[in-house]
Amino acid sequence: MATTKQTTFSSNLGVIMAAVGSAVGLGNIWRFPYTCGKYGGGAFLIVYLCFVFLLGATLMMSEFVIGRRTQHTPVKAFQSLHPKRAWGAVGLLGLITSFFILSQYLVLSGWTTNYVWDAITGTLASLGTDAGNISNYFAAFSTSGSRPVITLIVFSIICLVIILCGVQKGIENVSKVLMPFLVLLVLVLCVRSLTLPGAGKGLEYLFSPDFSKLTGEGVLAALGQALFSLSVGMGVMIVYGSYMPLNDNIFKTAMWITACDTLIAVLAGVAIFPAVFSCGFDPAGGPGLVFCVLPNVFNTMGGAGVIFSTLFFLLLVVAAMTSAISLLEALTAALHEHTSMGRTFSAVLFFLLSTALGVLFAMSVGPLSHITVGHAHLTLFDFVDRLNSIYLPPICSLLTIIFFGWFMTEKDVKDELSNHGTVKIGYYRLFRLLSRYVAPLALLLVLITGIF
């Protein structure tokens, strides 16, 4: 079934580092900890772990199998596994999803890159501990038009350079450096955060089980976070699966990636919330936490605050970069495979397109905020955020797992999971149950809930 393909990762470690890099993003650093605390701490964490290892890992394994079995990027992968070539539309939807997510991601990454510079130069420290000053600064910066665009372009150029270096010399080698560096930064911040007075309140917020907060909404939030935290439903893992060495154990690789992704999310919570509670701030979620609350927290630390502020925003940039390069690689590889365009031309083209759309989204927060979409009058940034969080990834994941569970042959699935009969797959019955029934129903539930 598979064809020869010269582009592969050199080792299992390369696969794991690159895939973990893709999965670990800005959402792990701020969204997971906040959601965990909001919906019952330890109670939410227990439910989340069940979902992420049973359903999230199932989706990841299905995409790895599709990619490695065919040695193709998403569109050709689906088409080569089933006589009805219309299935290629699912792969195309995944690539469209990657493109929109990358364009939006560049905006957030540009903001984060700017904050690294502001932390290094002492601009954030000069704002003092007045929450109003810091909030006003973020509002002025994000709506200014020029600076967010400049930092977005700088970040995007760095991602392009990594992609142009190739799969092994670029993505794999950079991931092998950036991911350990990311973990080191998280651990350093954890140590500092835990030594602050009153840090125990932050740990209690995160880990103390409060089942009264674990409502039906909380369970759905855990399910949604689990399904969407591993970069599934956007074609990336199919592309990375096509780069996976043929002797890699797909099950073990998926478990390692899932464990690393979850561990980093939990450590991020340990790094953030003891400090937030120690300084007496409200643990607000999303951009408000990262760009308004945390700079205030760091400024209460005196001279050391400059160091830890720099380290934290550098951590965010690393997490953003490892995710962005995976999205750009999926698009580059697909265009290169489907056309006569070289890899360099494909990468540059998608760099220009995603950067241009990202600039438009960044400007929609400020100078172009008068341009709105729909009855809710959403800005372009808010519209694509809703598109990326509610519609595209769950629809793509649902169609992918339906194809995998019901239209891909049993022989192909077993053969790929067992490495042609050389690896035991005692988990297969459970895996097949999850992929054919449980995962599709869970995705459908999340999709319907998100829409209505």
Q: What per-residue confidence (pLDDT) applies to 284?
A: 64
Helix (H) or strand (E) holding 165: none
Rounded to 5°, the CA angle 325-287-318 comes to 30
Residues of the chain with pLDDT under 50: 1-4, 6
Burial of residue 343 (CB within 10 Å: 0-12, 13-18, 19+) is middle
Q: What per-residue confidence (pLDDT) applies to 286?
A: 64
Enumerate the β-bridge partners of residue 373: 378
- Please state, in angstroms and rounded to a whole number, the distance separating the CA atoms of residues 410 and 432: 10
Written as one letter, the residue type at 149 is V
Tell me whether residue 374 is in a domain: yes
Q: What per-residue confidence (pLDDT) applies to 4?
A: 42
Tell me whether residue 1 is in a domain: no
Determine how many CB atoms are found less than 10 A away from the CB of residue 40. 22
Written as one letter, the residue type at 70 is T
Q: What per-residue confidence (pLDDT) applies to 285?
A: 64
Determine how many CB atoms are found less than 10 A away from the CB of residue 3. 10
Enumerate the β-bridge partners of residue 378: 373
- Please state, in angstroms and rounded to a whole number, the distance separating the CA atoms of residues 379 and 358: 13
Rounded to 5°, the CA angle 155-233-268 comes to 55
Written as one letter, the residue type at 197 is P
Tell me whether residue 47 is in a domain: yes
Q: Are 351 and 102 in contact (CB under 8 A)?
A: no
- Please state, in angstroms and rounded to a whole number, the distance separating the CA atoms of residues 448 and 92: 22
Report how many domains make up the chain.
Answer: 1
Q: Phi and psi for 215 in degrees, rounded to 5?
A: -80, 180
The 8-class DSSP code of residue 87 comes to G
Residue 379, token pair as written in the block: 């800005």
- Please state, in angstroms and rounded to a whole number, the distance separating the CA atoms of residues 22 and 321: 9
Task: State the sign of the Cα–Cα–Cα–Cα dihedral 329, 141, 269, 217.
Answer: negative
- Please state, in angstroms and rounded to a whole number, the distance separating the CA atoms of residues 191 and 201: 15
- Please state, in angstroms and rounded to a whole number, the distance separating the CA atoms of residues 230 and 237: 9
SS3 161: helix
Tell me whether residue 430 is in a domain: yes
Q: What per-residue confidence (pLDDT) applies to 156?
A: 96
Residue 176, token pair as written in the block: 């092998």
Residue 138, token pair as written in the block: 């973020």
Tell me whether residue 283 is in a domain: yes
Domain that holds residue 369: 12-451
Q: Are strands 372-373 and 378-379 parallel, antiparallel or unpaired?
A: antiparallel
- Please state, in angstroms and rounded to a whole number, the distance separating the CA atoms of residues 41 and 33: 9
Tell me whether residue 226 is in a domain: yes
Q: What per-residue confidence (pLDDT) applies to 7?
A: 67
Tell me whether residue 6 is in a domain: no
Tell me whether residue 3 is in a domain: no
User: Comparing C-alpha atoms, which of 63, 120, 123 is closest to residue 311?
Assistant: 120
Residue 272, token pair as written in the block: 């953030």
- Please state, in angstroms and rounded to a whole number, the distance separating the CA atoms of residues 27 and 223: 15
* First-residue to last-residue Cα distance in the chain: 41
Q: What per-residue confidence (pLDDT) applies to 362?
A: 94
CATH number of domain containing 370? 1.20.1740
